[in-house]
Structure 1
């Protein structure tokens, strides 16, 4: 593992949030999946915040869901929050919406503004590991830091356990 500079948009987001001292780490074996990232960092897979891009089926509006690495997104719950049926964005759509390739999408610092939702389970973690713009790099934030940078509020939280 080595410390690297984050991509420009991600670095600018850190700077704007007053978090320019966040370390971005690169792992030679990669962090493309939540399981890969957990192995590389040495944490539980549920400590990984995977950034998943969906989009409205009618409006094509992108939605970023920051989900704990151990669970899958309940699309019905997302649809209830955003008021529209959703589908997973393909690789080209992810790149167009965020500026990053699948496997390296950070939770902020995107090419375009994206509505963001977060899995409630991540908010109970002391630290969350997140993709840093490449399939080999990650960084760590507290839930409070992540909410501050992304603007996540109560209306952006997904309770995966709710009926």
Structure 2
């Protein structure tokens, strides 16, 4: 599917201020789209944008042996925690609590962008993101997203390409 022609183009000023500052620091000019309704889930974001669910990038924080780790995953897939654990060589990996997500990234769940966080964390990006010419990710709050090439996104996030999606039967 193509992106909706009825969605008004907006600027980085529609992003969360911290994320807009990260864009400025990186010298990036990206189109940020802001929606009246939340795009807190990948399904909501894909419907609002008019793209495939797999073109949505989920920025998920996990806790690996007590340290936060960001995993970038396409919206149609789930993270296999055991594969993340193996990738990191960690004893224990769990989904981070909401307070750790906000403390680590500076953003609330549902609006976490792939970069521009309060603290630097290790980033794992699932290789499946590269299946698309463009992907959409949160721009700092549940009402705003931006579009970019997946390779660029992984590079900006400082991510390592890995295979951490759940295998389907």
TM, length-normalised to structure 2: 0.86
Contact 2:39/2:48 (8 A) holds in 1? yes
Aligned with residue 124 of structure 2, among 111, 117, 122: 117
CA RMSD of aligned residues (A): 1.8
2:61 maps to which of 38, 53, 78: 53
Which runs of 5 or more residues in structure 1 are unaligned? Answer: none
Long gaps (5+) in structure 2: 1-6
Give distance in 2, aligned partners of 1:142 and 1:74: 24
Helix, strand or coil at the partner of 1:87: strand
- Is the 8 Å Cα contact of residues 13 and 149 (structure 1) preserved in structure 2? no
- Paired residue for 1:13? 22
Shift, 1:34, TM fit = 0.1
CA distance in 1, matches of 2:98, 2:164: 27
Moved beyond 4 Å, runs of 4+:
none
CA contact (8 A) 1:130 1:138 kept: yes
Count of residue correspondences: 158
User: Hey, what does 1:33 align to over in structure 2?
Assistant: 41
1:130-145 maps to which residues of 2 (within 5 A)?
Answer: 130-145=137-152
Q: CA deviation at 1:23?
A: 1.2
Normalised by the length of structure 1, the TM-score is 0.89
Which deviates more, 144-153 or 108-117?
Answer: 144-153
Residue 96 of structure 2, aligned match among 89, 99, 114: 89
In the other structure, the counterpart of 2:113 is 106
Matched, 1:147 2:121: no
Structure 1 residue 161, shift from structure 2 partner: 7.0
Residue 145 of structure 1 aligns to a residue whose secondary structure is helix
